[in-house]
Amino acid sequence: MKLGGKMVAFAGFWMPVEFSGIVSEHQSVRQAVGLFDVSHMGEIAVRGAGALKWLYWVTTNDLAKLALFQGQYTTILNDRGGVIDDLIIYRRPDDYLLVPNASNKDRVLGWLTSHVRPGVAVEDLSAATGQIAVQGPLAADLVASIGDDSLREIAYFHSGNFTLAGVPCLVSRTGYTGEDGFEIYCEAARTGKIWDSLMAAKPEPRPCGLGARDTLRLEMAYRLHGADMDETTTPLEAGLGWVVKMDKGDFIGKAALRNQMERGVRGLLAIASVRHSTGSCGGCLGGRGQGSQA
């Protein structure tokens, strides 16, 4: 608000739609570096001896492929194959960190807890966790300026524990805007210190709001839950067949998806989805980001 953000209510938070203007913020992310406060996003930890096997059952991608600190884009489905949410899961030493969309966090948490099995613990870390996204071709320069050069070595769709501006953080590199990008997770009460340190660092970032987030994702053909899919839409219909591994073990919604594939999936996004899942698309909708993360 001090920076003049035009604020709206979103997912239980006051969020800025824009600061200096959606177009200028969009261009800053494409050409330099933009700064987003995305502390409204959910963070859910899943741990226990049965965590991997259980997550295999409640998500559609192949978590067994994940190395330590690697991330994976996936979906959680209802019994009818509808998308409850699309999210990223990070494998950490003692747990798996799930990052659902803000507006779906409570729905995802409720679904997980209602399906939890012995040997699995689910913990909502959202209120205790702040998150700042640094996005753009100069993102690595900015993040390294308040940390150290080892941050530049984080591989795409990987993460690690670092100290930024004296604050312990989990830093990931997914670039959800389609540019190089880092997501900084820290204790909620210390998020302001990270933000202020980044705003005072070089290269100078431009604060960005929800408007530029939406246009950046739209430009890269990245899906947005609530706009491109919901619980009445399957990932096949949404063009996300590449995150559905039908050859792995059973998972919630698998039978519904198999039936849909046998009947034939309709729509332009569905065609792209089938091509992704068969390998005949060549990354047609993926760009640098989600589409290239198998």
Q: Which two tokens stand for residue 129?
A: 């966790």
Structural domains for the chain = 18-42+127-219 (3.30.1360.120)
Instruction: Please state, in angstroms and as integers, the Cα–Cα distance from residue 47 to each residue in 13, 50, 217, following that order.
Output: 28, 8, 31
Identify the CA nearest to 98 among candidates 38, 42, 156, 152: 42
- Predicted confidence at residue 207, as pLDDT, reads 98
Query: In which region does residue 155 sit, left (phi positive, over 0), alpha (psi from -120 to 50) or beta (all else)?
Result: beta
Task: For the chain, 294 residues long, give each residue's pLDDT as a single digit of tens.
Answer: 999 999 999 999 999 999 999 999 999 999 999 999 999 999 999 999 999 999 999 999 999 989 999 999 999 999 999 999 999 999 999 999 999 999 999 999 999 999 999 999 999 999 999 999 999 999 999 999 999 999 999 999 999 999 999 999 999 999 989 999 999 999 999 999 999 999 999 999 999 999 999 999 999 999 888 888 999 999 999 999 999 999 999 999 999 999 999 998 875 455 444 444 333 333 333 333 333 232
- Predicted confidence at residue 270, as pLDDT, reads 52
CA-to-CA distance for 279 and 37, rounded, in angstroms?
Answer: 36
CA-to-CA distance for 138 and 205, rounded, in angstroms?
Answer: 9
Helix or strand or coil: residue 167?
strand
pTM summary value: 0.90
CA-to-CA distance for 25 and 154, rounded, in angstroms?
Answer: 25
